[in-house]
Structure 1
C-alpha cells in the first residue's frame, strides 16, 4: 500500500508551528511526559487548520491536513534529532 498521497496534505505552516511548540513542551517542562507530545501536536495541528480555513469552509480534507501536519512535526523532530546526533551520544541528559 502506497501512502505517499498523504504528503499532499502537509501544510508547512502548521508543521512548523507544531514542531516548535512540541520542542518547547519537551525542553521547557521537565515533568511533561514525552508520550503525549504527538497527541498534542495532532490536536494543535487540527485546531490551527480549522482556524486557517474558518472562512473558506471546514471539511474532512482540512481536518486530515491538520492532523497529518501535526504528526509529521513529531517525525521531523525525530529525524532532525537523529541527524544532529552524529557521534551516537544524546545530549538530552546533560
Structure 2
C-alpha cells in the first residue's frame, strides 16, 4: 500500500497545528470552560481555515481537506492517548 497519496488529502502541517491547539485546550486550566464535546468542531473549523492558509487560496477542496486534517488531529490524539494508557497498564502488570 502506497501511503504517498495521503499527502494529497491530509495537510500535515494543519494536522500538527490542530494537534497542538487541541492539546492546549485540554490541558490549560483557564480553558477548562471549553467542553470536550466542542473540541472536534473547533478542530474542524480551525483546520478549514489553516488549510486555506497553507494552500494559499480559498477553495472548496482546501476547506474540506483542511477540515479533514483538523478532525484527523482529534483521532490522532485519541490514538496516542489509548496507546499510552495501554502501555501503562502493561507496565503495572509487569509484562
For the aligned pair, the TM-score class normalised by the smaller chain equals 0.7 to 0.9
In 2, the alpha carbon distance for the partners of 1:81 and 1:20 equals: 14
Q: CA RMSD in A?
A: 1.8
Match of 2:51 among 40, 49, 52: 49
In 1, the alpha carbon distance for the partners of 2:60 and 2:52 equals: 10
What stretches of structure 2 of length at least 5 have no aligned partner?
1-5, 91-95
- Structure with greater proportional helix content: 2
Instruction: State the number of aligned residues.
Output: 81
Relative to the length of structure 2, the TM-score reads 0.77
Secondary structure (helix, strand or coil) at the match of 2:52 reads helix
Q: Which runs of 4+ in 1 moved over 2 A?
A: none
What stretches of structure 1 of length at least 5 have no aligned partner?
1-6, 89-94
Listed as ranges, the matches of 1:1-94 within 5 Å are 7=6, 8-28=8-28, 29-54=31-56, 57-86=57-86, 87=89
Relative to the length of structure 1, the TM-score reads 0.77
Please report how far the alpha carbon of residue 30 of structure 1 lies from its aligned counterpart in structure 2 after TM superposition.
Answer: 2.2
RCO higher in 1 or 2 (8 Å CA, sep ≥ 6)? 1
For the pair shown, the structure with the greater C-alpha radius of gyration is 2
Secondary structure (helix, strand or coil) at the match of 1:85 reads helix
